[in-house]
Amino acid sequence: MVDFDRLTDRRGTDCLKYDFAAERGYPAEVLPFWVADMDFPAPEPVVKALEQRARHGIFGYTDIKEDYREILARWFQRRHGWQIEGEWLSITPGVVFGICTAIRAFTQPGEGVLICPPVYYPFAASIKANGRKLVESPLVEKDGRYEVDFQDFERKIVEGGVKLFVLCSPHNPVGRVWSRQELEQVAAICQKHQVLVVADEIHQDFVRPGHKHTVFASLGAEVADFTITCTSPSKTFNLAGLQISHIFISNESLRRRFRHELEAVGYGEPNAMAEVAAKAAYSQGEPWLTELLAYLEENLRRTRAFLAEQLPQVQLIEPEGTYLLWLDCRGTGFSPEEQEKAIVQRGRIWLDEGRIFGAGGEGFQRINMACPWAILEEGLKRLAFALKK
Ligand SMILES: Cc1ncc(COP(=O)(O)O)c(C=O)c1O
């Protein structure tokens, strides 16, 4: 049994979550629940493999071999029923790096790239930073559940001259695990208008009981033909700082263009430690993940109960996946500015303010529940203290 209740002090490790509050304009002692990494050590076999590799002492240039591709293939087949071929794989230091590479490889400056806000904010930043036109089709919320507005989605593609759509599946921050039917609708519209799809599936291993993640490219060979699938062990096994992600492209011509762009920015082989960690994680980390998902389910249950009892004016958007909770705080009577101030100054906690996720995010807060319950409970108490009038 993994002890997910165990507290691990992350302060002093130069981690973004705990050690950079002051640099980012927050009180130094603030309790953080913003960035999407977990306050849990990686699976023991990963730590052991890294220790062993570190002991070797030589950290020269490294690359992946066939066994690495086979380990990944087994994972995706077993967990997601998706059959990959080794040659589809390109490695990048991160999924955002992969998305930016795709934007540069497949679109021209000024061309439209579509997203569905509220969504992970680096999507918009990546599009703008590369001088492409940001086109948005906001999700619509119906009784606490978000959906794609397919009419608007298609209209924005046509009117915005969209060449590429960045799909977030499962969707951060609203927690949707898109159904097969919804994804098929997205695919049909994108195929009709010759829009390439970058499917960011980094949260694919965090799916709640009763829901099923469908790999977008697994909808069929003709869908895979216009899809760039972005995955990573960084969320699943908490390895973000090691920087490795896996980008799958079955269409040979798209793959060639993607790799050309990687070459153009000078990226070659993966980080030696990340290679070791990813291999150990995907081959030996599954029992840990099973226990983790059960722990997160319990954190969610306790959070739901806490909010209902202590903070009924805040509505939890019931997540279907991810470990990020999307809280509707519009019923607190605070303006979004007052809300943010109360949370930081009075509550002494650091969440991700809904506004930064784009259209429809104002008045919401995103809280990361992937931490020992004792920390999460303290955060929720502080939130309740901050938001009570
Ligand atoms: C949807 C989504 N994509 C990408 C990332 C970051 O990926 P990477 O660190 O590999 O760039 C995150 C992290 O929170 C995320 O939520």
C-alpha 100/C-alpha 269 separation (Å) is 18
**pLDDT score of 233:** 98
C-alpha 96/C-alpha 306 separation (Å) is 34
Best probe residue, ligand 1, of 38, 172, 204, 326 (max atoms within 8 Å of C-beta): 172
Q: What is the 3-state secondary structure (H, E, C) of 49-62?
A: HHHHHHHHCCCCCC
Best probe residue, ligand 1, of 92, 202, 352 (max atoms within 8 Å of C-beta): 202
Checking if the pLDDT of 48 tops 90, the result is yes
Q: Summarize the confidence of residues 322-351 as an average pLDDT.
A: 96
**Ligand 1: distance of its center to the CA of 109 in Å?**
23
Pairing of strands 324-328, 315-317: antiparallel
Over the stretch 145-202, which tens digit does the pLDDT of each residue have?
999 999 999 999 999 999 999 999 999 999 999 999 999 999 999 999 999 999 999 9
Q: Which domains does the chain have, with CATH numbers?
A: 16-42+287-387 (3.90.1150.10), 48-284 (3.40.640.10)
Beta-bridge partners for 114: 135, 165
Ligand 1: list residues with CB < 6 Å: 36, 94-96, 120, 168, 172, 200, 202, 232, 234, 240, 245
What three-state secondary structure class fits 310? Answer: helix
**pLDDT score of 191:** 98
Checking if the pLDDT of 386 tops 90, the result is yes
Phi, psi of 31 (to 5 degrees): -90, 120
pTM of the complete model beyond 0.85: yes
**pLDDT score of 114:** 99
Q: Closest ligand 1 atom to the C-alpha of 93?
A: 10
**Ligand 1: distance of its center to the CA of 202 in Å?**
6
**Ligand 1: distance of its center to the CA of 310 in Å?**
32
C-alpha 295/C-alpha 266 separation (Å) is 41
Over the stretch 61-90, which tens digit does the pLDDT of each residue have?
999 999 999 999 999 999 999 999 999 999
Q: How many residues does the chain have?
A: 389
Best probe residue, ligand 1, of 120, 168, 205 (max atoms within 8 Å of C-beta): 120
Confidence of residue 243 (pLDDT cuts 50, 70, 90): very high
Checking if the pLDDT of 389 tops 80, the result is no
Checking if the pLDDT of 388 tops 90, the result is no
Supply the residue whose CA is at minimum distance from atom 7 of ligand 1: 95
**Ligand 1: distance of its center to the CA of 357 in Å?**
13
Supply the residue whose CA is at minimum distance from atom 14 of ligand 1: 36
Q: Closest ligand 1 atom to the C-alpha of 168?
A: 1
**pLDDT score of 40:** 98
CA dihedral 17, 22, 26, 32 (to 10 degrees): 20
Average pLDDT, the chain: 97
**Ligand 1: distance of its center to the CA of 114 in Å?**
17
